[in-house]
Structure 1
Amino acid sequence: MADGLMTDALAADVTVAQDVRLRRPAGIRSIRLGDTKVSYVPDGDVRLRPLRLLPDTTDEVWAAHPEYLDATGHLVGSVGGLLVEHGDRALLIDAGFGPQEHRGPDGPISAIHGGALAQNLAELGRSPQDIEAVAFTHLHSDHLGWACHPAPGGDRPVFAHADYLISEQEWERRDLLEAQGMTEQVAALAPRVRTVTDGQEVFPGVHVRITPGHTVGHAEYVITGGGRRLIAFGDAVHSPIQIDHPEWSSAFDHDPALTADHRSRLVAELAEPGTIGFGVHFADVVFGHVRQEGDGPAWRPLDA
């Protein structure tokens, strides 16, 4: 009986600790895949209105899952990039939000800010000059970030030596960005863009996977090493609660039905042995596995 009580107490402690992580943005976290090191590089965070972000949810859903919401009733999300290091080489997947902030009186985003990416790269022993390429999952402002801003105190790009890797489909439809008032961002990207295609290896052990839905040319990056693989799935999933409900698409999804269909397949894939997921907006649970628990799949973070 005593052993059973102790086991129950430990399980309760683990649940409480995980719940805390769901309500705070992620700090630097790293894992190894054989000779490759991958690290989440924080730039800032975002506070989201849950019913606006996931319009198929209800007040009852969120009342049943208070662990996802902060004291003001917002979903907490991380904003940053993924550093991939192999030997002396370094690739960055997505570039955060940059040195700016935005508050929305309405809509899914209540507040978002960035600015810490370069400092956190330094904490990881890297400078922007070390980055040989920035690979984008898609062309939304919370992923373009520092790629469109000059280095502090100057007018040169932060990643002055890097190519910008963007899927062919995404770059071909950059007119969609220009229609949203992002002409300056497109102009900042254009001189450095190198388009990539489905299945292409863009860095040792890193392959592109084109997964339209969230945007017309949304890309995921599959990183393999040490007998494991990591899927950096960008904005195919915004919150861990969608793992158990892949049918819930985001208000930001260009094609909600297509995204939901892909997300269902992705959740099944993330449950396969040796597979790790990386959710760039997943609060302080950015690295994790999918496990079948209770009535369905659930996101279980790695203690990285």
Structure 2
Amino acid sequence: MSLKFTAGDLTIHRIIEQETTFLPAHEMLPGLTPEVLAGNRAWMKAARALDDSDTLILAFQSYVVKTPHHTILIDSCIGNHKPRPLRPAWNMKTDDTYLRGLSAAGVAVDDIDYVMCTHLHVDHVGWNTRLENGRWVPTFPKARYVFDRTEFDYWTETNAKTEVPPFVDSVLPVVEANKAEIVRNDFVIGDHVRILPTPGHTPGHVAFSFGRGKDDAVFSGDLMHSPIQTHFPELSAKFDVDQAVAAKTRRSFLERYCDTDTLCCTAHFPSPSAGKIRRKGNGFVCEMA
């Protein structure tokens, strides 16, 4: 299983926290018909994206990207000591899997220059903070944390109505520590890192493209959760706040990158999780690296 890729002058490491069954395919993808699942079950199982009970298998992971100038973490996964009662596998975790993964990639928490969040859902912000003497403090003390303005404002307003625990324990402490960069879509880091708006899953969901002068790699976040959504871009996930916009965004994204050399690094596709987008009939396929 590959945990390391190169693209242009980038070195990319996958940091896997969990790779496991998640939800039944029909529950996760409400538009998935029994006929479509039956016609795609074999290759999905062969790709280790579906188990024998038709439950989707997802990876929960971060990417560390080393450019010639910076070391950047994309999404910070689930985290430890976080109260997540609705997800027993995530609730009050105390394992060292994630930090061991960083260490195996030759990365220390002090090495990270930027933490960039595609969006602010629970499994993408968890290691933003760690518990120290009863307080949440930034896990990556030398990093600037990049949050999209639309996304941050959406969760600020939502949290004001009803407390959103991941926002409270994994985002606000970063802001309070003056480590946050709340940015708009024109934000760049040098000549290597750009934001690509990809709304639908959440209002301010973004992808990040990396490369000097062209997109050598793109990090798609929760634009898609399972490989079947490349074949059928109109299949939106139950967690997409606007399923119609998510479907339109997904097809546009896949059209943008199909038949290019851009390495598409997905958040949740099973290992190896990264590949090149190619056209397939009326849809697409991610040919894994």
Task: Compute the TM-score of the two structures, normalised by the length of structure 1.
Answer: 0.80
The answer to whether 1:58 aligns with 2:45 is no
The answer to whether 1:188 aligns with 2:173 is yes
CA offset at residue 65 of structure 1? 2.5
Q: Deviations over 1:224-269 (max 9, x none)?
A: 1596521111111111100111111111111111111111111112
Q: Contact (CA 8 Å) 2:191, 2:212: kept in 1 or not? A: no
| Seq. identity, % | 26
Q: Contact (CA 8 Å) 1:80, 1:280: kept in 2 or not? A: yes
CA offset at residue 86 of structure 1? 2.2
Q: Deviations over 1:33-74 (max 9, x none)?
A: 232211211122352221111000023332333323113431
| Amino acid corresponding to residue 30 of structure 1 in structure 2 | K
Structure 1 runs not aligned, ≥5 long:
1-26
The answer to whether 1:41 aligns with 2:15 is yes
| Amino acid corresponding to residue 118 of structure 2 in structure 1 | T
Q: Map residues 1-304 of structure 1 onto 2, 5 A cutoff.
A: 29-46=3-20, 47-66=22-41, 67=45, 68-87=49-68, 89-99=70-80, 115=95, 116-150=97-131, 156-173=137-154, 174-177=156-159, 179=162, 181-182=164-165, 184-185=168-169, 186-191=171-176, 192-202=179-189, 204-225=191-212, 229-293=216-280, 296-302=283-289
Q: Deviations over 1:127-148 (max 9, x none)?
A: 1111111100000000001113
| Amino acid corresponding to residue 176 of structure 1 in structure 2 | T
| Aligned-pair Cα RMSD in Å | 2.7
Distance verdict in 2 for CA 1:154–1:110, change over 3 Å: closer
In structure 1, distance between residues paired with 2:16 and 2:61? 4
| Amino acid corresponding to residue 164 of structure 2 in structure 1 | G
| Amino acid corresponding to residue 106 of structure 2 in structure 1 | G
CA offset at residue 210 of structure 1? 2.0
In structure 2, distance between residues paired with 1:295 and 1:219? 25
Task: Compute the TM-score of the two structures, normalised by the length of structure 2.
Answer: 0.84
Distance verdict in 2 for CA 1:71–1:135, change over 3 Å: same
SS at match of 1:285: coil
Instruction: Indicate the structure (1 or 2) with the bigger Cα radius of gyration.
Output: 1
In structure 2, distance between residues paired with 1:117 and 1:40? 10
Q: Deviations over 1:92-120 (max 9, x none)?
A: 0100111268675xxxx795587522111
